[in-house]
Amino acid sequence: MSGDVILDVRELEVSFNVRRAGRKYRVQAVDGASLSLAEGEVLGIVGESGCGKTTVGRSIVGLVQPGSGTVKFKGAEMIGARGTNLREMRLNVRMVFQDPYASLNPRRTIGDSVAEAGDISAFFKSRAERSAAIAATLTAVGLDPSFAARYPYELSGGQRQRVGIARAILPTPSIVIADEPVSALDVSVQAQVLNLMMDLRERLRLSMLFISHDLGVIGQISSRVAVMYMGRIVEQAGTRTVLDHPLHPYTRALVAAIPMPDPSKRILGSIETGEPPSQFARPRGCAYAPRCPMASDRCLIDIPELRPAGTDGRAIACHNV
């Protein structure tokens, strides 16, 4: 089902200036992350809070300016692109945000929010075509077309996230980057919204980057997984390969921490014991070394590169496996 590479991210670096206790610091949010998405596939990006997942997504859709690296859509560079080319690419790569409360403008009707990307790009040929497209898109996400005239405050969290999804699929893109799209929702509606996304993915033939801190959710919906730790991808492979035979010590800890239905089979990974190192004091070598049961002297000074390992397109960044 998967085809050519549609999105290729290489050596992406993003840093932010922040002030803390009156001093200026530079936070390295993304530190050389590389990943590629094949046409028609769902690639999960998993990692703990703060590891840089959202920043990767925002960099790809142009909401954050990377310090260095490349982001190619169908072979064409997006960073630094301009004009018609860039507009075309932006329409083809869209994002669903984590927080459906913060991501909708409270003063705009749902219809105007859903039509925003189309409006900016002069996509609609007439008012009638615009209204019809809004109605069809609301229907596609399971909302009545009458929602077009309503405002965000009138909607539940689940309904708002359906609007967030509608905003990302009009006009229909090639790629959707879904940033923890259900983690801010009530547990009772999470499955419905997840099912909607998977249904749309199939109907609209979308390729998808699905960001989550939960390897269990990723396991249900993605064909491949990229595991992120402190701004870098440390392991990637097919989902079953990663879940059944994790190799990187960090991936092993994550997999061991997936809640098992049978408590006797539940293993607590080292992820339960160590704290992630501070972004303000990054280790010199492998960022995982301070928590890693396998760390050697080399790990403390030498950052392991992501390299191909074995079958299933597996790549891993570790000196010891």
Ligand X SMILES: Nc1ncnc2c1ncn2[C@@H]1O[C@H](COP(=O)(O)OP(=O)(O)O)[C@@H](O)[C@H]1O
Tally of CA atoms within 13 A in the half-sphere of 134 that contains its CB: 24
Chain centroid, CA 61 distance in Å: 11
Name the DSSP letter for residue 191.
H
DSSP 274: P
Residue number, 32 or 118, with CB nearest to ligand X? 32
Residue 103 partner contact from Mg ion, ligand X, none using kind-dependent CB cut-offs of 5 to 8 Å: none
- Of the two residues 179 and 247, which places its CB atom closer to Mg ion in the complex? 179
Annotate 213-268 with DSSP letters as a single string.
Answer: S-HHHHHHH-SEEEEEETTEEEEEEEHHHHHHS--SHHHHHHHHTSPPSSGGG---
Enumerate residues 9-28 that contact ligand X by CB under 6 A. 16, 18, 27
Residue 88: strand, helix, or coil: helix
**Amino acid, single-letter form, for residue 317:** A
Q: Point out which span in 4-12, 53-61, 164-172, 268-276 binds ligand X (CB under 6 A).
A: 53-61
Q: Is 59 in the site for ligand X (CB under 6 A)?
A: no
Residues at the interface with Mg ion (CB under 5 A) = 54
Beta strand pairing call for 42-46 and 224-229: parallel
136 touches ligand X (CB under 6 A): no
Is the Cβ–Cβ distance between 71 and 59 less than 8 Å? yes
Which span sits near ligand X by CB under 6 A: 51-59, 126-134, 215-223, 239-247?
51-59
Residues between 249 and 288 that touch ligand X (CB under 6 A): 279
Instruction: Using the minimum distance from each CB to ligand X, give the nearer residue, 14 or 110.
Output: 14
Token pair listed for 104: 């909708």
Q: Among residues 6, 33, 35, 53, which is the contact residue for ligand X, using CB under 6 A?
A: 53
User: By CB under 6 A, how many residues form the interface with ligand X?
Assistant: 13
Q: How far is the CB of 101 from Mg ion (least distance, A)?
A: 15
Contact 175, 92 (CB under 8 A): yes
Q: Is 45 in the site for ligand X (CB under 6 A)?
A: no
Q: Which residue number, 166 or 230, has a Cβ lying nearer to ligand X?
A: 230
CB 280 within 8 A of CB 20: yes
The stretch near ligand X (CB under 6 A) out of 44-52, 127-135, 201-209, 301-309 is 44-52
For the CB of residue 38, give the shortest distance to Mg ion in the complex, in Å.
23
Stretch that binds ligand X, among 42-50, 85-93, 126-134, 233-241 (CB under 6 A): 42-50
Detail the DSSP E strand segments found in 21-115: 23-38, 42-46, 68-73, 76-77, 93-96
What are the residues binding ligand X (CB under 6 A)?
Answer: 16, 18, 27, 29, 47, 49-55, 279
